[in-house]
Chains A and B, each alone.
Chain A
């Protein structure tokens, strides 16, 4: 298998195809080899365990999926004792740990603790989950808070520091610039959009929490536009996601300025989406005699 090398800040990736936090775990690697992936981004970890949101947590809409998981996770200590050793034993690609917190201090506490562990290549700061109140997204919507967060965390680690942005903001470019100024080394975008579905017969929301996070093919044009805007605004590399199902979708995001892409909902739609996207990109580039660097950010308007 010929490699499609790309880089994301300090990370050298053997493939521009990665996976979105919370949509992919070791179980998925029962279906294909990890060589197709540039990095493995795990489900978001918080300082303390989170039980998650009440069900129903899912609803499949016309063109995508609404979810309301609520960052269910066993917490930092269990992650270090149980999950991290399993990930390290299984993975030979870079592991990026997604983390979220309710204060800058809590983010710092998590990173400092994880810095004592081996086998972690980077951190993704989830400041954009729409399914938790007063956590995550409260950070992601204010440029000055994102700046403060990155400025505080950057000195604690030499590893890749990715900030994952929310599309549910007025000016995403301003937030990306704040992350860059604060010392983040790359940007991930986009997290889910607000989404809702109602049973028209009964008037009852299909999601117990009312509003959830909308992902999948329906949000692709939004994600592409925001990728393009942020790529124009900052020099940081971008890992783009939002409705990427096929290699053709992936190419659009690379043209728009992403250095790597992530598959999220696509992993549910087709467990073999990642190797299919990788093979499609490889064939396209070979046929056109192009390298990834000839594509990334070269969109003509």
Chain B
């Protein structure tokens, strides 16, 4: 998917939505930005904290946080966020009218498809990018959404839900239900996003069944624009052996989640190294 040149801007939060548990949604309006976004892309966002303000306030400015696009329609862009650390806790304090700093849209999104029998697999905060994706896919594909969480506070609208503690839906790891569903629904394409152990297990299952599987990875980031190489993950590449030089060039490389990702073919991810 073609990448747009990301922009850096400040936008007022138009509205804020409270969800269950630690989850909330921040909405902004921007027609131009909205037209540039694709499912699977993300923004680096932060509660407004300019460096000049920071000096005066003697508070320490922190890094932007990579947050995927949850929804995007006619100028309205949504960020569906879970409060986990210092950065997302600062975002959690924001309300309508507050300023949000943004860099984006960033990364390569999901490739659009049609006439497929698609299974969406999400775990916890892996849910948001798949929501935007299913909106784009729904008119031209058959979709079944399988979602898992630790408990009932991690559950969002979908077709089948699993929780680790059994407080809602089926009890256990969501991937336990994956293979039977793929066979029963005659699925031929899987999109996934969630914690690494879940994705690892899902990749194993889809490989065994020979099902194409694209996965969106999460990583700790600093720049978000491909500069710092901090978000690297091991991905199999097409690099060949250099017979002439007599050296064995690795068949995998550390690729950047922010630049070459966040969406990768699950078949190419070196899961054993993660």
How many Cβ-Cβ contacts under 8 Å join chain A to chain B? 102
B225 nearest in chain A by CB position: A27
In the complex formed, the residue of B with least CB distance to A60 is: B63
Decide if B230 is an interface residue (CB 8 Å cutoff): yes
**B222 near A24: Cβ-Cβ < 8 Å:** no
Bitwise, B86-117 to A at CB < 8 A (1) or not (0) is 11000000000000000100000000000000
Interface residues on B, range: 35 or more
- The segment out of A98-106, A113-121, A164-172, A270-278 that lies at the interface is A270-278
In the complex, chain A residues 233-269 whose Cβ is within 8 Å of any chain B Cβ: 245-246, 248, 265-269
The segment out of A64-72, A148-156, A291-299 that lies at the interface is A64-72
Known: A271-B8, A276-B51. A25 touches B227 (CB 8 A): yes
Do residues A23 and B54 form an inter-chain contact, with CB atoms below 8 A?
A: no
Q: Give the interface SS of chain B, mostly helix, strand, loop or mixed.
A: loop
Chain B 42-54, CB-CB to A under 8 Å as 1, else 0, gives 0000000011101
Instruction: Report whether A23 and B55 are in contact in the complex, using a CB–CB cutoff of 8 Å.
Output: no
Answer whether residue B229 sits at the interface, using C-beta atoms and an 8 A cutoff: yes
Whole-angstrom CA separation of A246 from B220 in the bound complex: 25
**A30: interface (CB < 8 Å):** yes
Question: Is A28's CB within 8 Å of the partner chain B?
Answer: yes
Given contacts A27-B227, A63-B60, contact A58 B221 (CB under 8 A): yes
Q: Would B222 and A72 count as touching, CB distance under 8 A?
A: no
Total interface residues in chain A, CB < 8 Å: 38
Q: Please judge, given known A-B contacts A27-B225, A54-B273, A217-B60, whether A248 and B253 are in contact too, CB under 8 Å.
A: no
* B172 located at the interface, meaning its Cβ lies under 8 Å from any Cβ of chain A in the complex: no
A271 touches B228 (CB 8 A): no
Chain B CB within 8 A of A107 CB: no
Q: Give the complex CA separation of A53 and B258 in angstroms.
A: 17
B228, A246: Cβ atoms closer than 8 Å: no
Which residues of chain B have C-beta atoms less than 8 A from A9's C-beta? none
Find chain A residues with CB under 8 A from B62 CB: 60, 269
Q: Does A36 contact B (CB under 8 A)?
A: no
**Using Cβ atoms and an 8 Å threshold, which residues of chain A touch B5?**
30
Which residues on A sit within 8 Å (CB–CB) of B63? 60, 65, 268-269
Q: Which residue of B lies closest to A59 (CB)?
A: B220
Q: Which listed residue, B6, B51, B227, touches A246 by the CB 8 Å rule?
A: B51
Task: Check if A72 sits within 8 Å of B254, measured CB to CB.
Answer: yes
Q: How far is the CB of A257 from chain B (nearest CB, A)?
A: 22
Residue B232 interfacial (CB < 8 Å): yes
Residues of chain A at the chain B interface (Cβ within 8 Å): 22-25, 27-28, 30-31, 51-52, 54-60, 62-63, 65, 67, 69, 72, 217, 245-246, 248, 265-273, 276, 280
The 8 A-B residue pairs whose C-beta atoms are closest, nearest first, are: A58-B230, A268-B222, A27-B225, A25-B227, A58-B220, A246-B55, A270-B51, A57-B230
24 CB < 8 A contacts A-B: A23-B227, A25-B226, A27-B226, A31-B8, A51-B250, A51-B254, A54-B234, A55-B231, A55-B232, A55-B254, A56-B219, A58-B222, A58-B228, A60-B62, A69-B229, A69-B232, A72-B232, A245-B61, A246-B54, A266-B51, A267-B223, A269-B61, A270-B51, A276-B51
